[in-house]
Amino acid sequence: MGGIEWDALLLSLKVGAASTALCLPFAIGVAWLLSRSRLPGRALLDGIVHAPLVLPPVVIGYLLLISLGTRAPLGAWLKSTFGIQLIFTTEGVVVAAAVMAFPLMVRAIRLSLDSVDRGLEVAARTLGASRLDVLFSVTLPLMLPGILSGAMMAFAASLGEFGATITFASNIEGETRTLPLAIYTATQTPDGDAIALRLVALSMALAVAAITLSEWLHRRTQRWLGRH
């Protein structure tokens, strides 16, 4: 493998990990709101969260561009306050991947939260645990299989994100050119077929590894909870 493949692979792994980590706390919070709260705007929130699943990725990328670009108020504020610029940067790729992967993670976590036996939470409270204590000592551990498979799914989806990334963060080598963008670039380059094929093989190997790991983790945690 040459430099192009390595750069793309490392960047993709970095983006996948960062986007998964960024999604996780918000996904748990949103799953909680959707599953447990009696929030008045619940249906609306549900719709917004799931929009990236049904909208063309380019649309998401464009929406990100007009809201977080350096000339948009939010983007300008981010830049002046924290010195963070999202367009044309790896951070921007992370945000685009996170937005696209978010609904997948929320779905998996929400399902696991729905399957948590409320009776166990009541039992924990009779044993002296406050609501917050119950969340950390009972609810989250019981959600672990769903949290892990949600995280793996978000990671895999982030690796493959293309449309929103190229629209929002552009295609800059070493900065925003992840595996799919590198494949696209190779196919647009004369004599790029060999590179493209190697990148495709790499992507497939990564996908298989991610799915295998996800299945294994899921089985392990389910067994840990005594579900077979």
Q: Which residues lie near another protein (CB under 8 A)?
A: 117, 119-120, 122-130, 133, 137-138, 141-142, 144, 224-227
Q: How far is the CB of 131 from another protein (least distance, A)?
A: 8
Q: How far is the CB of 178 from another protein (least distance, A)?
A: 36
The tokens for 53 are: 């699943």
Rounded to the nearest angstrom, the gap between the alpha carbon of residue 26 and the centroid of all alpha carbons in its chain is 10
Closest-CA residue to 154 (of 98, 70, 110):
98
Q: What is each CA distance from 180 to 74, 78, 130, in whole angstroms?
A: 28, 28, 47
Q: How far is the CB of 119 from another protein (least distance, A)?
A: 5
* DSSP labels, 144-178: HHHHHHHHHHHHHHHHH--HHHHHHT---TTTT--
Q: How far is the CB of 124 from another protein (least distance, A)?
A: 7
Cβ(23)–Cβ(154) under 8 Å?
A: yes
Of the pair 3, 128, the CB lying nearest another protein is at 128
Of the pair 77, 224, the CB lying nearest another protein is at 224
Q: How far is the CB of 121 from another protein (least distance, A)?
A: 10
Rounded to the nearest angstrom, the gap between the alpha carbon of residue 78 and the centroid of all alpha carbons in its chain is 21
Of the pair 129, 200, the CB lying nearest another protein is at 129
Q: How far is the CB of 128 from another protein (least distance, A)?
A: 3
- What contacts 69, CB < 8 A, 6 or more positions away? 75, 86, 87
Cβ(166)–Cβ(181) under 8 Å?
A: yes
Query: What sections of the chain are H helices per DSSP?
Result: 3-36, 42-54, 57-68, 73-82, 90-114, 118-126, 131-134, 140-160, 163-168, 179-188, 193-224
Q: How far is the CB of 111 from another protein (least distance, A)?
A: 17
Of the pair 66, 127, the CB lying nearest another protein is at 127
- What contacts 51, CB < 8 A, 6 or more positions away? 60, 103
